[in-house]
Amino acid sequence: MTTHPHGAVAVTAPAKINLSLGVGSCRSDGFHTLATVYQAIGLYDRVTVRADDAVSVTVRGDSRIPVDGIPLDDSNIAVRAARLLAEHAGVESGVAIEIDKGIPVAGGMAGGSADGAATLLGCDHLWGLGTPREELLELAAELGSDVPFALVGGTAIGSGRGETVTPLMTLGEYWWVVLESENGLSTPAVYREFDRLADDTVDLPVIPDALMMALRGHDVAVLGASLVNDLQAAALRLRPELAHALEQGLLESAYGAIVSGSGPSCLFLCEGRSHAVQVATGLRSAGLGPVSFAPGPVHGARVVAADGQG
């Protein structure tokens, strides 16, 4: 297939948090059944794709994000995304992928999934494919459970292994303080610990009614009290110091505190921006790790720049 590419296309994709993460038993394919409420928040990775002879990837992070653990070979999810779309569409062009990380690495916030989604969208634009949205979502699901949500953004229910995304209409804006960790946490290791703790006594995962009602009515206090993460106990077993971080955030007046996904990032729900600044300042002075804050929900992956129409 002949393409008429742009010179370069830049795409942003947001961090994901789980307001509710219900985890069921391990399925025959090795994945766990999930019932989750996703929200995209305003921390972004930026992915720039350029036409090139081969497929390659480079990664940069800002001062708070170490990137030396990210693979730069064919196992990188952005490389896999570019190859998957090229194979799907019969494209023979290569692509140079540049990733600027603003989402913590191995932090339970789906930064890799954001890069996969951004690369799919960027290459689709670069190669002038116009792939239907449903097809892009199917390709995203092949790449990973959280990749479809990174395309959709907003607030949504995730089911299956998380890859089936149903958008939720919610009222208003929420502000989240994110306490990052200097060291990431392996998602497979957290799931193994979950399985060990559960010992085959896992119920079907559910989303609490109170949480859904709080989202519909924009009740920050009730939402904070309803946050739940079935992986949290496993993450705390592997990283016991996170329990202190969660307690500290509540002491700083956050409405809710939860481990993000498989961790180790911790999330603190606040009333608004000024409250988030106050909680973030308190956590910074406690010296527990890098702190940022961001609103949600925000849009999913989107093209932010394109030049040099060919």
> Any idea which residues carry the catalytic annotation?
16, 146
How far does the chain reach from its first CA to its final CA, in angstroms? Answer: 15
Burial class of residue 171 in the structure, from the number of CB atoms within 10 Å of its CB (0-12 exposed, 13-18 middle, 19+ buried):
exposed
Dist CA 41 CA 176 (whole Å): 8
Asked whether the beta carbons of 150 and 300 are under 8 A apart, the reply is yes
Query: Any idea of the CA torsion for 230, 228, 140, 79, to the nearest 10 degrees?
Result: -70
What DSSP character marks residue 105?
T
Those residues with Cβ within 8 angstroms of residue 40's Cβ, 6 or more apart along the chain or in another chain: 14, 15, 16, 149, 150, 153, 154, 155, 296, 297, 298, 299, 300
CA atoms within 13 A on the CB side of 202: 23
H or E element, residue 39: strand 32-52
